[in-house]
Chains A and B, each alone.
Chain A
Amino acid sequence: MNKKAFAAILALLLTLALLVGCGQAAPATPTPVPDSGDTPAVETPAPVQSGRAASNEIVIGIAQDLDSLDPHHMTAAGTQEVMFNVFEGLVKPNAAGQIVPAVASEVQVSEDGLTYTFTLREGVRFHNGEPVDMEDVVYSLTRRMDGADAAAKNVALDVISDVQTEDDRLILTLSEPSGDFLAYLMNVYIIPMDYEDLETHPIGTGPYKFVSRAVQDNLVLERFADYWGEGGKVDKVTYKILENNEGLVLGLQSGALDLVNHMTSEQTSQLSASDFHVEQGSMNLVQALYLNSGVAPFDDVRVRQALCYATDKQAMIDLAFDGYGIPLGTSMFPSFSKYYDDSLTDYYPHDVAKAKALLAEAGYPNGFEMSITVPSNYSPHVNTAEVLAEQLKEVGIQVKILPVEWNSWLSDVYTNRQFQSTVIGLESNNMTARKLLDRFASTAANNFTNYSNPEYDEILARAISSVDDAEQTEAYRQLERILTETAANVYLQDMADLVAVRNGLNGLTFYPIYVLDVSTLYWG
């Protein structure tokens, strides 16, 4: 027999064997799904945690390298998340979403909201042992204000018209009242005056101090013994950078990592329940199908409302997120409990008949074709778009999904507004509700949805300049309601932040902003 023929037949047989073999093996493979009834197969018990628990250290897996170690230069949310443990401002956020004193021990605001007086906390030390004095504070503030270092300048601080010091007190005068001023001050991290090695060896005042960094590999922090507050419990924290998602899952399974956040339910379902537990927080993002109100057919409020009725948020969350996620009805998430209006969530119940009626009224009795542009690297958004496409089909809307890479998304959708609709999550990184609402002002530079409503603009202007907290809160709630009533966008959900934590590690605390506080973690 011909050799090649023999080889070909052999290859065919092998392929078939593979097919058959897999056919049998597949159903038998243990699939650890936490909420299913069957007990997941317990594989080799990994005693690794006892080793790290004994030496009181943890290893956290993160998906991206840090963009800068200089606290005034870092912009990536992933960097803020890590360095939150190293740096502090005069004030800092707490887990309840309040702004509390940090390097300052007390903050006083004058009646007219124009003068802020900070009293410097006694006994605050930098990681190099030096005490923090007024010069350091003024230096840090000036570095973010004057623009001598362009990357460090924060324009939100332009409202400061005068900086005065008086013994241990810092007095800031504003040119106009600003309800969110303290929130912006959180990111004015206090650093030693004229310290030049921030990029390579940053020094702050936080509960953990910087030890070393290997670019694109790891970052090591150590407990700061002289911290003014309660301080951390774990002695050493290593951040291991693994830029692909599979790597993070494998790292957990192999015992190399103790904690990874921002995981998908698909990833956490691969972890063995005997080694890990999954804690659910919130991403603090408003995920929505953002509609470009500047172009037809979404310039018609009835079409936008029809889309809202046609969408079944809970079904989408069940399908694309295994049920993890909190449905939203407006541009605000529950962490901002003060501003969040839960009654808006079900303003548009899933109702195909109503959606069809509205479409007919708007002149689209047979639906229309639309496109959803999605950043292809964010699979949760792509999955969401896929489910929405299927749901909108029911009312006759044919959806074309256009996956684009992240940079094209930023330029085409966010900057140039060349899109029909997009699925994305919008955040508020500085604990102010304002950031979630002021982007819908008709003149806002980041109003990429082209939403335009004079009434909205007017109330927003009133809310921003208001110094009365109750009045501001009421105005913000009014804005939320307008966004819902005019169906500015199809609001979907506050995405769940799933954190895989090795059993035995406790104390994980969720913040309403994108940070991971390691000082509360402990073994036991």
Chain B
Amino acid sequence: MKKKNWNGFLIAGCVLTGVLVALMLLGKFWTPWSPTAMDAKAMYQPPSLTHLFGTDKFGRDIFSRVMQGGGTTLTIALATIAIGAALGTLVGAVTGYFGGIVDDALMRLNDALTAFPSILLALLIISLVGPGKYNVVLALGIVFIPSFARVMRTQFASLRDVNYIISARLMGAGQLRIMTVHMLPNTMRTLLPALTIGFNNAVLAEASMSYLGIGVTPPDASLGNMLRDAQSALGRAPWYAILTGVMIALLVFGVGLIGEGLQKRDQEVD
């Protein structure tokens, strides 16, 4: 009975996320309607069998746009945490392992980045490089470095003086080898849940950036800029905001469940 508990989280999370991701992947190749086709005769139609989620201000099918826009959001979120986690782990490994002045310098820089409200920092980067899908990834990736760096630094610092690392060092293993082969795998149980939390934050960050009009640019859809669109029609087409918002909530919830499940599993192993 006890052993099944973590499974519940993982399974529910994987099923929910799987369905959504499958839908969004499908959206890359096929959607019930063209996500950009406009129809003046079908503006702001409520959900129906023809248009599952209704239509938006230009008579575009919201469900098709959710399929495609969700994919964009998903891609951005994945790319963002890839950048954030890779660079964050690098910074965390170097500072945690070596300590001393490198640690001080990099972590103070890290503090400075953290001190900036993250959206403001992303805004600053966007204002330098301009809006667009790839620039959003770049901006958010940079914004996500500090949190990963901090988590990984703690891990590497705590592993530095454990016996098997000291043994490896005595056996003459190089520092790069120690860090990648001996230490990195042991940080996974912290890194994986951090990745799922990071992913969720990235989805929400993309949504808020696009919501502010500085993220994914029209006519490309993303869950964030759809929500922004929906806001001005809250009275006229409430389903637009609600259904788009629910999609974001479900995606975040599903991945959150996976993260929770992963953590549970590790506790069970202990």
Listed in ascending order, the chain A residues whose CB lies under 8 Å from chain B are 2, 4-5, 8-9, 11-12, 15, 18-19, 22-23, 25-27, 29, 31-33, 245-246, 249, 264, 266-267, 269-270, 315, 318-320, 322, 376-377, 379, 382-383, 385-387, 389-390, 393, 399-405, 408
In contact, B246 and A15 (Cβ under 8 angstroms): yes
A5 to B7, CA, bound (A): 10
In contact, B58 and A26 (Cβ under 8 angstroms): no
- Of the candidates B130, B213, B238, B264, the one whose C-beta lies within 8 Å of that of A29 is B238
Cβ of B97 under 8 Å from chain A: no
**Chain B: CB-nearest residue to A21:** B242
In the complex, how many angstroms separate the beta carbon of A492 from the nearest chain B beta carbon? 16
In the complex, how many angstroms separate the beta carbon of B233 from the nearest chain A beta carbon? 6
Q: Given the known inter-chain contacts A26-B46, A319-B43, A390-B219, please indicate yes or no for A270 contacting B130, CB distance below 8 A.
A: no
In contact, A22 and B242 (Cβ under 8 angstroms): yes
Which residues does chain A contribute within 8 Å of B40, judged by CB atoms?
A: 315, 318-319
In the complex, how many angstroms separate the beta carbon of B136 from the nearest chain A beta carbon? 13
Q: Given the known inter-chain contacts A15-B253, A22-B239, A26-B238, please indicate yes or no for A383 contacting B219, CB distance below 8 A.
A: no
Cβ of B236 under 8 Å from chain A: yes
Which residues does chain B contribute within 8 Å of A19, judged by CB atoms?
A: 246
A396 to B233, CA, bound (A): 31
| Most chain B beta-carbon neighbours within 10 Å: one of A5, A12, A29, A33 | A5
In the complex, how many angstroms separate the beta carbon of A399 from the nearest chain B beta carbon? 8
In contact, B59 and A379 (Cβ under 8 angstroms): no
Q: Mind listing 5 A-B residue pairs with CB under 8 Å?
A: A23-B239, A26-B47, A389-B218, A400-B217, A403-B217
Q: Given the known inter-chain contacts A19-B246, A245-B232, A376-B213, please indicate yes or no for A31 contacting B9, CB distance below 8 A.
A: no
Cβ of B131 under 8 Å from chain A: yes
Which residues does chain B contribute within 8 Å of A400, judged by CB atoms?
A: 217
Interface positions, chain B 213-270, Cβ under 8 Å from A, are 213-214, 217-219, 231-233, 235-239, 242-243, 246, 249-250, 253, 257, 260, 264
In the complex, how many angstroms separate the beta carbon of A352 from the nearest chain B beta carbon? 15
In contact, B236 and A31 (Cβ under 8 angstroms): yes
Q: Given the known inter-chain contacts A15-B249, A26-B242, A319-B43, please indicate yes or no for A402 contacting B130, CB distance below 8 A.
A: yes
How many A-B pairs fall under 8 Å by CB? 110
Cβ of B32 under 8 Å from chain A: no
In the complex, how many angstroms separate the beta carbon of A25 from the nearest chain B beta carbon? 8
A38 to B11, CA, bound (A): 47
A5 to B260, CA, bound (A): 9
Cβ of B187 under 8 Å from chain A: no
Cβ of B36 under 8 Å from chain A: yes
Which residues does chain A contribute within 8 Å of B9, judged by CB atoms?
A: 4-5, 8
Q: What 20 additional pairs, Cβ within 8 angstroms, besides A8-B9, A9-B12, A23-B47? A: A5-B9, A8-B260, A12-B12, A15-B249, A15-B250, A22-B238, A26-B54, A26-B239, A27-B46, A27-B47, A31-B44, A267-B232, A270-B235, A376-B213, A379-B232, A390-B36, A390-B58, A402-B130, A403-B217, A404-B130
In contact, A389 and B219 (Cβ under 8 angstroms): yes
Q: Given the known inter-chain contacts A12-B253, A31-B44, please indicate yes or no for A383 contacting B131, CB distance below 8 A.
A: no
In contact, B131 and A402 (Cβ under 8 angstroms): yes
**Chain B: CB-nearest residue to A322:** B43
A512 to B239, CA, bound (A): 39
In contact, B246 and A18 (Cβ under 8 angstroms): yes
In contact, A319 and B246 (Cβ under 8 angstroms): no
In contact, A5 and B219 (Cβ under 8 angstroms): no
In the complex, how many angstroms separate the beta carbon of B222 from the nearest chain A beta carbon? 13
Chain B interface size band reads 35 or more
In contact, B236 and A266 (Cβ under 8 angstroms): yes
Cβ of B5 under 8 Å from chain A: yes
Which residues does chain A contribute within 8 Å of B214, judged by CB atoms?
A: 376, 403
Interface positions, chain B 195-228, Cβ under 8 Å from A, are 213-214, 217-219
In contact, B243 and A22 (Cβ under 8 angstroms): yes
A390 to B57, CA, bound (A): 14
Which residues does chain A contribute within 8 Å of B242, judged by CB atoms?
A: 18, 22, 26
In contact, A33 and B58 (Cβ under 8 angstroms): no
In the complex, how many angstroms separate the beta carbon of A28 from the nearest chain B beta carbon? 9
In contact, A2 and B233 (Cβ under 8 angstroms): no
Contact with A along B46-57 (1 / 0, CB 8 A): 110000001001
In the complex, how many angstroms separate the beta carbon of B235 from the nearest chain A beta carbon? 4
Which residues does chain A contribute within 8 Å of B16, judged by CB atoms?
A: 12
- Of the candidates A8, A26, A249, A270, the one whose C-beta lies within 8 Å of that of B12 is A8
Which residues does chain A contribute within 8 Å of B5, judged by CB atoms?
A: 2, 5
Q: Given the known inter-chain contacts A15-B246, A269-B236, please indicate yes or no for A319 contacting B213, CB distance below 8 A.
A: no
In contact, B57 and A266 (Cβ under 8 angstroms): yes
In contact, B131 and A22 (Cβ under 8 angstroms): no
**Chain A: CB-nearest residue to B44:** A31
Which residues does chain B contribute within 8 Å of A379, judged by CB atoms?
A: 232
In the complex, how many angstroms separate the beta carbon of B11 from the nearest chain A beta carbon? 11
A405 to B123, CA, bound (A): 12
In the complex, how many angstroms separate the beta carbon of A251 from the nearest chain B beta carbon? 14
In the complex, how many angstroms separate the beta carbon of A267 from the nearest chain B beta carbon? 8
Q: Given the known inter-chain contacts A15-B249, A26-B47, A402-B131, please indicate yes or no for A31 contacting B213, CB distance below 8 A.
A: no
Q: Given the known inter-chain contacts A31-B44, A270-B235, please indicate yes or no for A385 contacting B218, CB distance below 8 A.
A: yes
- Of the candidates B44, B58, B237, B264, the one whose C-beta lies within 8 Å of that of A386 is B58
Which residues does chain B contribute within 8 Å of A404, judged by CB atoms?
A: 130-131
- Of the candidates B57, B219, B239, the one whose C-beta lies within 8 Å of that of A401 is B219
Cβ of B14 under 8 Å from chain A: no
Q: Which 8 A-B pairs have the closest CB atoms?
A: A26-B239, A270-B235, A318-B40, A27-B46, A22-B242, A376-B213, A386-B218, A2-B5
Which residues does chain A contribute within 8 Å of B243, judged by CB atoms?
A: 22
In contact, A403 and B131 (Cβ under 8 angstroms): yes
Cβ of B38 under 8 Å from chain A: yes
In the complex, how many angstroms separate the beta carbon of A315 from the nearest chain B beta carbon? 6
In the complex, how many angstroms separate the beta carbon of A97 from the nearest chain B beta carbon? 32
In contact, A33 and B236 (Cβ under 8 angstroms): yes
Which residues does chain A contribute within 8 Å of B213, judged by CB atoms?
A: 376-377, 403
